[in-house]
């Protein structure tokens, strides 16, 4: 019963191919439709790809492939996103564990947290501008504030649902408190925590762009508004594509890690179906 759990390599390849065929067909239609139109707002995908290459990847092998514009447009956004998400995850997971394990803390904090969660992140932009200024820290704290909620509440609920018998077994084995946390509670809650990580990442990207729309001098969000205001529509599309690629790659990385860490869970679910 332990065999034949994962689909065969051939099935996986077929699925992969089908997914890409869909994308290619769609791109083809887009190309055809935009090539016929002479609207300046809709460049063809090939033009966009050429622009992306020219803009960010044309420095040549000797120049390290990436252009200076890449470090101006993309790198700052990546840094802000990574930093903001790290803060959100660290705070969200730690606070979620505390809430899930200490009833009294949860009773005191829960109403307040739900109230704060109800605030849409971008609303705090003006406040953040006043409080933390226009630098990187403003954008990082905005991302962190907005992205902390899904990870916090997912961790909280996952930790609260860790079966008491797991804890009892660990206690009878006289494990230390850190071991109880890292070897029992966090693994037992890991599926819920990962769901939170995914949601918080997509929220983080939204907030990243929102934060770069004001008082910024670089980043994807800045480049996007800048090119739109100066009627460079091909460039605008390049930034849009860059954004979706950012989201796609972030998700790819997360699911890669998740596949490794939660392998047991996937196999177990497959058996119990």
Partner 1 sequence: MSPALLEVTDLRHSYQTRQGEHTVLDGLTFSVERGEFVSIVGPSGCGKTTLLRSLSGLLRPSGGTVALGGTVIDGVPQGLAMVFQDYRGSLFPWRRVGENVEFPLLGSVPKSERRRRTEESLEAVGLAAAADRYPWQLSGGMQQRVAIARALAMRPELLLMDEPFASVDAQTRSDLEDLLLRVREQFDMTILFVTHDVDESVYLSTRVLSLSKAPTVQTADVTVPLAFPRDQITTREEGAFVTTRSEVARLIRQAGPGGLAA
Query: Applying CB under 8 A, which residues contact partner 1?
Result: 1-2, 163, 165-166, 168-176, 179, 183-184, 187-188, 190, 264-265, 267-268, 271-272
Distance CA(97)–CA(182), nearest Å, equals 11
Q: Which is nearer to partner 1, 118 or 172 (CB)?
A: 172
Half-sphere exposure of 191 (CA within 13 A, CB side): 10
Distance CA(69)–CA(141), nearest Å, equals 25
Based on its alpha-carbon atoms, the radius of gyration of the chain, rounded to whole angstroms, reads 23
Q: Which is nearer to partner 1, 99 or 184 (CB)?
A: 184
Q: Which is nearer to partner 1, 65 or 268 (CB)?
A: 268
Smallest distance from partner 1 to CB 173, Å: 3
Smallest distance from partner 1 to CB 41, Å: 51
Per the CB < 8 A criterion, the answer to whether 192 and 154 are in contact is yes
Q: Which is nearer to partner 1, 53 or 171 (CB)?
A: 171
**Contact residues for 48 (Cβ-Cβ < 8 A; gap 6+):** 234, 237, 238, 241
Distance CA(223)–CA(246), nearest Å, equals 15
Per the CB < 8 A criterion, the answer to whether 154 and 199 are in contact is yes
Per the CB < 8 A criterion, the answer to whether 221 and 77 are in contact is yes
Smallest distance from partner 1 to CB 155, Å: 17
Q: What's the gap between Cα 254 and its chain centre?
A: 8
Q: Which is nearer to partner 1, 166 or 233 (CB)?
A: 166
Q: Which is nearer to partner 1, 13 or 271 (CB)?
A: 271
Smallest distance from partner 1 to CB 265, Å: 7
Smallest distance from partner 1 to CB 271, Å: 6
Distance CA(161)–CA(169), nearest Å, equals 16
Smallest distance from partner 1 to CB 183, Å: 7
């Amino acid at each position: 019963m332990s065999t034949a759990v994962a689909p065969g390599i051939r099935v996986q390849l077929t699925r992969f191919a089908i997914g890409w065929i869909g994308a290619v067909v769609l791109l083809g239609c887009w190309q055809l439709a935009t090539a016929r139109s002479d609207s300046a707002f809709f460049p063809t995908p090939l033009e966009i790809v050429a622009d992306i290459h020219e803009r960010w990847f044309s420095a040549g092998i000797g120049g390290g492939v990436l252009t200076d514009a890449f470090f101006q447009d993309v790198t700052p956004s990546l840094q802000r996103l990574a930093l903001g998400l790290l803060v959100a995850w660290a705070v969200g997971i730690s606070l979620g564990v505390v809430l899930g394990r200490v009833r009294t803390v949860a009773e005191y904090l829960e109403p307040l947290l739900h109230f704060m969660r109800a605030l849409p992140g971008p609303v705090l932009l003006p406040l953040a501008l006043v409080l933390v200024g226009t630098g990187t820290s403003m954008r990082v704290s905005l991302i962190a504030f907005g992205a902390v909620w899904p990870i916090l509440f997912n961790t909280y609920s996952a930790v609260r649902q860790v079966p008491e018998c797991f804890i009892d077994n660990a206690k009878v084995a006289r494990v230390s408190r850190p071991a109880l946390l890292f070897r029992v509670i966090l693994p037992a809650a890991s599926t819920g925590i990962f769901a939170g990580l995914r949601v918080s990442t997509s929220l983080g990207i939204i907030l990243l762009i929102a934060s770069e729309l004001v008082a910024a001098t670089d980043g994807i969000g800045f480049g996007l508004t800048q090119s739109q205001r100066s009627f460079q529509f091909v460039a605008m599309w390049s930034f849009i594509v860059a954004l979706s690629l950012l989201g796609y790659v972030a998700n790819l990385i997360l699911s890669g890690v998740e596949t490794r860490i939660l392998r047991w869970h996937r196999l177990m679910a497959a058996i119990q179906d």
